[in-house]
Amino acid sequence: MAFHSSANAQGCVAIRTVGGLNTMEHSMHEGMMHEGMMPAKDSSKWDLNISFRYFKSYKHYNGTDEQTQRVLDETDVRNYSKAMDVSLVRKINEKWSIGIDLPLVSNERSSLYEHIGNVKGNPRFSTFSQGIGDMRVSVYKWLIAPESGRKGNLLAGVGIKMPTGNYKATDVFHYSLTATREGPVDQSIQPGDGGWGISTELNGFRQLNNIWSLYGNAYYLINPRGNNGVSTTRGVVIATPPTAAQALAIKYTSNVMSVPDQYLVRAGANWTKNALTLSLGARYECIPTFDLIGDNTGFRRPGTVITAEPGANYSYKKFNFYVYAPVALFRERNQSYPDILKTLDTNVFSRGDAAFADYSISIGFGYKF
């Protein structure tokens, strides 16, 4: 069944819940790849998978330094992300398959600085976004014939990520207790990024014995579009001529939202007994500062997250049920391209911060038919 290794948004680092972020395999969920995943007489042609995911981010980092005062002063930004991924995979033959993934998202972002001001005691307001995310269609191939590769195999995939998610979502921002203005919500809760993308991935497993197996996945989403032109000013109109702050934002390109690349690497081990599989692995996910193709203009929060990823999987007939809870071990907010431009221009090191989650929770089920 479809296998979701979603790079689940770690908060202000806009690693979205999009079809382009889900490595997909056939039969077991979340890396539970082993000999039993390719039964010789399995007549199922379709794999349906539905997963639900939640996290809350609120801990701010600048580089690897946690800004603990933000929580103490109650000036922290809090992102609440709820998502459902629906994926369907069609087996064409023993080696080839095609899959489609559609994410549905509902996000809330609570802050002070986006509204009246980032001063302790000011009222806290929220902005919201919801809808479909960016859909992905992919083609997969087993690199070794399934019958020959029952003890170990590699599954390669390439896909197209489509800009089906709204990347211009707006909501109301409060500039006083009585005055509001409508504008685009923060990049981290936009349902889409506004760019066409190319996803590449490689997924593998190795059966050690009847109980233990290993898995590994690598995924990279190439987003050639530099920025999507959506304003980061939250409804504030650029003056003519621009104010000093607006002029600097335009100069450093941080006045519009970028369309960044993103990637994920994960690996771990599975323990299987009858219908139950327990897994423990590590995952490395990243929004890089520089894209492989295209320019790097626009506002982004580059970041790196390393998590420990425990999980459990239970199979019953043609159903498969699972729960996973990646826990953050390492978080880093890197310099962005606008940060680098500002540093070169002023000779003063510049780097913004970002809020990260401590953990995320993913539950779901799959069905083969």
Residues 111-158: pLDDT tens digits? 999 999 999 999 999 999 999 999 999 999 999 877 777 789 999 999
Examine residue 1 and state whether it is found in any structural domain, yes or no: no
What are the beta bridge partners of residue 310?
A: 280
Examine residue 13 and state whether it is found in any structural domain, yes or no: no
The number of domains in the chain is 1
The pLDDT value recorded for residue 145 is: 79
Please tell me whether residue 163 adopts helix, strand or coil conformation: coil
Q: H/E/C letters for each residue in 53-84?
A: EEEEEEEEEEECEECCHHHHCCCCCEEEEEEE
CATH number at residue 203: 2.40.128.130
Please tell me whether residue 90 adopts helix, strand or coil conformation: strand
Examine residue 5 and state whether it is found in any structural domain, yes or no: no
The pLDDT value recorded for residue 31 is: 38
Name residues of the chain where pLDDT drops below 50.
Answer: 1-6, 8-9, 17-40
Residues sharing a CB contact under 8 Å with residue 236, sequence separation 6 or more, in sequence order? 181, 183
Examine residue 11 and state whether it is found in any structural domain, yes or no: no
Tell if the pTM clears 0.85, that is, is over it. Answer: yes
- Ranges assigned E (strand) in the chain: 46-62, 65-66, 78-91, 96-111, 125-132, 136-142, 152-161, 170-174, 180-184, 197-207, 212-222, 227-231, 256-258, 262-273, 276-287, 303-316, 319-324, 327-333, 354-368
The pLDDT value recorded for residue 11 is: 59
Pairing of strands 136-142, 256-258: unpaired
Examine residue 10 and state whether it is found in any structural domain, yes or no: no
The pLDDT value recorded for residue 258 is: 98
The pLDDT value recorded for residue 33 is: 39
The pLDDT value recorded for residue 194 is: 97
Residues sharing a CB contact under 8 Å with residue 139, sequence separation 6 or more, in sequence order? 96, 97, 98, 157, 158, 159
Q: Which secondary-structure segment (H or E) carries 346? A: helix 337-346
Examine residue 6 and state whether it is found in any structural domain, yes or no: no
Examine residue 2 and state whether it is found in any structural domain, yes or no: no
Range of the domain at 337: 19-368
Identity at 76, one-letter amino acid code: D
CB 318 within 8 A of CB 44: yes
Q: What is the dihedral of CA 37, 135, 190, 363, to 10 degrees?
A: -20
